[in-house]
Amino acid sequence: MKTVTGLFDDYSDASAAVSALEARGVPSSDISIVSNNADERHGKETNAAEGAGTGAGIGAAVGGVGGLLAGLGIMAIPGVGPVVAAGWLAATAAGAVAGAVAGGAAGGLIGALTESGVSEEHAHVYAEGVRRGGTLVTAKVDDSLHAEAEAILRKSNWVDPEQRRAAYAEGGWTRFDDTQKPYGTAEIEQERLRYRR
């Protein structure tokens, strides 16, 4: 199994990517989505679980009935703030945060991504992208499906991590810092306008 990951500026693009992966036969249980929810745009349209800030309900959200998107739950990620999330990456991130609090280990979204095979360099860009209002889609796929799954993500308007890293660096950014204040609604909208195609 290999991991494919895509960052999307627009939730609708990420949602289309998840649907395309599911249509291609990637099981919902092998796909994860983490989307910034600072503007609470997802809370009313999903069956989001209770427990924002604690990660509660994420286990129940994994592999939701009717596909992954039907099972979005609400949690908080340090440095990112409120997100809607579903799938194995969300469960791993929630567990990593709990482990980091209890044992001082590297945790949160960066730890979950790197444990799944994403390079640390890209993991920092992806976490920062979610902090700035983006949506992350990650899937575990058979080796034979890896290239096709990456093509599905690219066709859905994914963000090139190298180009985005360069754009963030122009503003002085070097890496994701989970001690930073999460972006607010106005800052997220400003970021979206910056990258809108």
Each residue of 69-99: pLDDT tens digit? Answer: 555 677 788 888 888 888 878 766 655 444 4
Q: What is the pLDDT of residues 124-158, one digit of tens each?
A: 999 999 999 999 999 999 999 999 999 999 998 99
Largest CA distance in the chain: 43
Dihedral sign of CA atoms 62, 135, 8, 2 in order: negative
User: Does the global pTM surpass 0.85?
Assistant: no
What pLDDT is attached to residue 41? 65
Q: What is the pLDDT of residues 111-132, one digit of tens each?
A: 888 988 899 999 999 999 999 9
E strand or H helix that includes residue 136: strand 135-141
> Can you name the residues that pair with 35 across neighbouring β-strands?
84, 135
- Are the C-beta atoms of 58 and 91 separated by less than 8 Å? yes
> Can you name the residues that pair with 77 across neighbouring β-strands?
81
Alpha carbon 122 to its chain centroid, in Å, reads: 12
Q: What is the pLDDT of residues 2-21, one digit of tens each?
A: 999 999 999 999 999 999 99
Q: What is the pLDDT of residues 36-55, one digit of tens each?
A: 988 776 544 433 333 333 33
d(CA 16, CA 67): 12
Length in residues, the chain: 197
What pLDDT is attached to residue 112? 85
What pLDDT is attached to residue 38? 83
Backbone angles phi, psi at 95, to 5 degrees: -65, -40
> Can you name the residues that pair with 81 across neighbouring β-strands?
77
Hey, where are the domains in the chain? 2-192
What pLDDT is attached to residue 121? 95
d(CA 181, CA 183): 7
The token duo for 98 is 């709990």
